Amino acid sequence: MSLKTLSGEPAVTRTESGHAVSTAERFAMKIDTNDFRVREDNQVSLNKWPTIVDPVYKSKKQYKKLLEDHVAQLSAMQQLHYASDRHAVLLIFQAMDAAGKDGAIRHVMSGVNPQGCQVFGFKHPSPAELQHDFLWRTTRDLPERGRIGIFNRSYYEEVLIARVHPGILHSEAIPDAPHYDKKVWHDRYRSIVDLEKHLHANGTRIVKFYLHLSKEEQRKRFLARIDEPEKNWKFSLADIKERQFWKDYRLAYEECLGATSTKDAPWYVVPADDKENARLIVSQIVLDTLDGLKMAYPKTSAKRHDELLEIRKQLAN
């Protein structure tokens, strides 16, 4: 993972809790998010993408400081995003079980105002949802301008789990669907790319995260869910059954990432064996995305300025 130095940072900044953190301590180096980006039309082989990289942090204490700083920056940028009201931001998280999606969302977005951010999780479609096209149920929950929407799993399930388990596709009752032909998946990739192009053209910025977990690390996390009582609720026999389809899921992800990562709606393959490092990478990508929007607070018109002066006079009396 290549790193580059930051410039223009103040010598000391303070997090929301008031903790003073020096630039040298926090960001002597910056994550280069391009290291994790899938290039458009690239053929993806996940064996060539690492599940772990050298950590950005040197200790747990420093990790907490770095994340706290990222969270503080995200909070400020989200407020500006809400005020500018020009774009919507959609963050999509996909991964194998136990890769840390929930934890990444919870930790990275912990400082964001709930009024400007919504999280949606998509599991097996309901009977009513199966009566519609595969993009319908997620389209209903797209974020408005000024908001951040988070999909914990998404319409990409329709080219992932539906591909690994063909019975799901059968249940959608698509007329004359070539269920065992690659054409159905290519058609769905095209539908997804077209949707994302449409959303981008209308102001929605889409960032997609694949949390890349090794099979061995998943095994360790499953064992932890059994051994630690407070994690028992996270584990079920279905998780073990899905683990048997590891290679099938890898192939489905590889084709999906290569077919749907575009300049305007990129995929990022985030090494997920180190949860803390993954959270710092994800938060940096979100920060870079918001920074790229070139946001500004609405300018006060001359008329509005006069109104405010009049209100000030009334309050002064």
Q: What pLDDT shows up at residue 192?
A: 98
How far does Cα 113 stand from its chain's mean position?
Answer: 17
Tell me the C-alpha distance between 261 and 267, whole Å.
Answer: 5
Q: In degrees rounded to 5, what are phi and psi of residue 75?
A: -60, -45
- Going by C-alpha positions, the residue among 248, 245, 226, 246 that lies closest to residue 235 is 226
Report residue 307 as tokens.
């109104």
Report residue 155 as tokens.
């319409």
Q: What pLDDT shows up at residue 10?
A: 37
Cβ 207 vs Cβ 289: under 8 Å: yes
Q: What pLDDT shows up at residue 176?
A: 66
Name 206's bridge partners: 90
Cβ 172 vs Cβ 134: under 8 Å: yes
Tell me the C-alpha distance between 109 and 61, whole Å.
Answer: 19
DSSP annotation of 7 reads -
Neighbours of 229 (CB within 10 A): 8
Torsion of CA 126, 267, 36, 280, to 10 degrees: -50
Q: What pLDDT shows up at residue 177?
A: 60
| Tens-binned pLDDT, residue by residue, of the chain (317 aa) | 443 333 333 333 343 344 444 443 444 357 999 999 999 989 999 999 999 999 999 999 999 999 999 999 999 999 999 999 999 999 999 999 999 999 999 999 999 998 899 999 998 788 888 889 999 999 999 999 999 999 999 999 999 999 999 888 888 877 766 555 788 999 999 999 999 999 999 999 999 999 999 999 999 999 999 998 888 887 888 889 999 999 999 999 999 999 999 999 999 999 999 999 999 999 999 999 999 998 999 888 899 888 989 999 899 87
Q: What is the DSSP string of 257-272?
A: HHHH--SSS-EEEEE-
Tell me the C-alpha distance between 62 and 24, whole Å.
Answer: 11
SS3 284: helix
Q: In degrees rounded to 5, what are phi and psi of residue 105?
A: -65, -45
What are the residues whose beta carbons fall under 8 Å from the beta carbon of 73, sequence distance 6 or more? 287
- Residue 146 backbone class (left: φ over 0; alpha: ψ -120 to 50; beta: rest): left
Tell whether the torsion through CA atoms of 272, 278, 283 and 286 is positive or negative: negative
Q: Which residue has the tokens 């077209």?
A: 194
What are the residues whose beta carbons fall under 8 Å from the beta carbon of 298, sequence distance 6 or more? 83, 84, 85
C-alpha radius of gyration, the chain, whole number: 22
pTM recorded for the entire structure? 0.87
